[in-house]
Amino acid sequence: MKVLVAVKRVVDFNVRIRVKSDGSDVDTDNVKMSMNPFDENAIEEALRMREAGIASEVIAISVGGTKSQETLRTALAMGADRAIHLESADPVEPLGVAKLLAKVVEQESPEVVILGKQAIDDDSNQTGQMLAALLNWPQGGSASKAEFDGDKLTLTRETDSGLETLAITLPAIITTDLRLNEPRYPKLPDIMKAKRKPIDIIDVASMGVDVTPRLKVLKVAEPEAREPGIKVANAAELVDKLKNEAGVI
């Protein structure tokens, strides 16, 4: 079984986001970038499938500028067998990414495609669903547990009303929740080996896929600052303010 895993380069989750002075976008100059955390879970799940003898090859794929290869090298260091970089100088929206992935799926013929359920930069949570629709494949979103049995897949996902279990026939799309697994940290020897693993670079413009943006960002702004809290001397004063100050309760 061949497994295709999509990964994205995003601002590291530990970084405090800054907005550009003109309000056009998020400032990424001299900012630490890393693999989207949900995609780390996706790579880890694919690697565990290979270690269990379920998968024979793990292919990492990313859409973006030249520096997306750094994220692919991280995936290779974690254990992916090879990588594909769909190079685009301009940002690609979720629908465009889904169309590009669908094109690669036609060429690579994987039985499973795994994506993080969302990217922490835009929180769209759309690409996996759109890819499933384009391929007409069954999907299991926000998976917190996955069990394979031949061409059958049983997924557990968390919903507002509790746990939901889905039975899916392969080929299928999986989007991962953070609770699915604990991603491994690449070791130094694996990082060195990753430098020799192949990355196929494909220009998005040569793929014959329409990735024209359908959305236009008018303005990016930081959330309004919260008003500072106050301290009370005792419980009685707290109760009094809760009762009498408008808008508290």
The confidence score (pLDDT) of residue 247 equals: 63
Is 141 within 8 Å of 175 (Cβ atoms)? yes
Residue 41 CA to residue 44 CA, distance in Å, equals: 5
**β-strand partners of 203:** 87
**C-alpha span between 26 and 10 (Å, rounded):** 11
User: What is the pLDDT, as a whole number, of residue 249?
Assistant: 62
Domain ranges of the chain: 2-244
d(CA 136, CA 172): 9
Write the class of the CATH domain 2-244.
Answer: alpha beta
User: What pLDDT is stored for residue 62 in this prediction?
Assistant: 97
Q: What pLDDT score does 227 carry?
A: 82
| Residues paired with residue 93 on neighbouring β-strands, in sequence order | none
DSSP annotation of 152 reads: E
d(CA 39, CA 117): 8
Q: What is the pLDDT along the chain (249 residues), one digit of tens a residue?
A: 999 999 999 999 998 888 888 888 888 888 899 999 999 999 999 999 999 999 999 999 999 999 999 999 999 999 999 999 999 988 899 999 999 999 999 999 999 999 999 999 989 999 999 999 999 999 998 999 999 988 899 999 988 888 999 999 999 999 999 999 999 999 999 999 999 999 999 999 999 999 998 888 888 888 888 888 888 899 998 888 888 876 666
* Bond before 171 cis per omega within 30 degrees: yes
Give CA–CA dist 36/64, Å, rounded.
13
pLDDT of residue 76: 97
Sign of CA dihedral 142, 145, 151, 152: negative
List all residues 6 or more positions away from 61 whose beta carbon is below 8 Å from its beta carbon.
4, 5, 6, 7, 72, 83, 84, 85, 86, 101, 104
